[in-house]
């Protein structure tokens, strides 16, 4: 089993736990980021989530329809919108954090600390190699 298979299975597990709230991993990631740091605009969110701007717009449209976020005007820039959590979303964020912690504990319970540290080191090295390769490509 490869990284993509493990990632897909973890996403499916998370989605199954938040589906009843009308959420997905993608939408939950937006809510968790917004709770972590205030004053995001759409472009910054897209960059932080490492997705294209049109994709973040679709995510935000869905969250806005669910009344979990709202877009507020940015003073001095008519086109820019700051993304804010609603009170309902703030309550959901607490639950999302608990779900995330429970899944993490469940998935890691049988993995010894040394193996976990090795796996994290390998994943960090892969990530750094990808970033370096992309940076070289952009030059």
Task: Give 54-68 pLDDT, tens digit per residue.
Answer: 999 999 999 999 999
Instruction: Determine the Cα angle at 26 with ends 91 and 3, to 5°.
Output: 130
Average pLDDT over residues 23-28: 94
Domain count, the chain: 2
Instruction: Determine the Cα angle at 119 with ends 29 and 47, to 5°.
Output: 30
Rounded to an integer, what distance in angstroms lies between the CA atom of residue 89 and that of residue 86? 5
Q: What is the pLDDT of residue 128?
A: 95
Q: Are residues 15 and 27 in the same domain?
A: yes
Q: Are residues 19 and 38 in the same domain?
A: yes
Average pLDDT over residues 97-108: 95
Q: Are residues 123 and 101 in the same domain?
A: no
Q: What is the pLDDT of residue 47?
A: 93
Between 80 and 26, the more confident residue is 26
> Which range marks the domain in which residue 119 is found?
112-139
Number of residues written out for the chain: 139
Task: Give 69-94 pLDDT, tens digit per residue.
Answer: 999 888 888 788 899 999 999 999 99
- Please choose, from the candidates 81, 47, 83, the residue with its C-alpha nearest in 3D space to the C-alpha of residue 68: 83
Percentage of the chain lying above the pLDDT 90 cut: 78
Q: What is the CATH number of the domain that holds 65?
A: 1.10.10.10
């Amino acid at each position: 089993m490869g990284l993509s298979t493990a990632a897909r299975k973890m996403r499916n597990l998370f989605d199954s736990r938040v589906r009843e709230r009308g959420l997905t991993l993608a939408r939950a990631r937006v809510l968790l980021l917004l709770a972590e740091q205030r004053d995001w605009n759409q472009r910054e969110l897209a960059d932080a989530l490492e997705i294209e701007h049109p994709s973040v717009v679709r995510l935000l449209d869905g969250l806005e329809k669910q009344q979990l976020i709202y877009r507020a005007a940015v003073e001095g820039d008519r086109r820019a919108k700051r993304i804010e959590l609603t009170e309902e979303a703030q309550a959901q964020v607490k639950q999302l954090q608990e779900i995330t912690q429970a899944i993490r504990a469940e998935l890691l319970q049988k993995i010894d600390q040394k193996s976990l540290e090795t796996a994290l080191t390998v994943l960090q090295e892969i990530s750094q190699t990808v970033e370096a390769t992309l940076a070289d490509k952009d030059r």
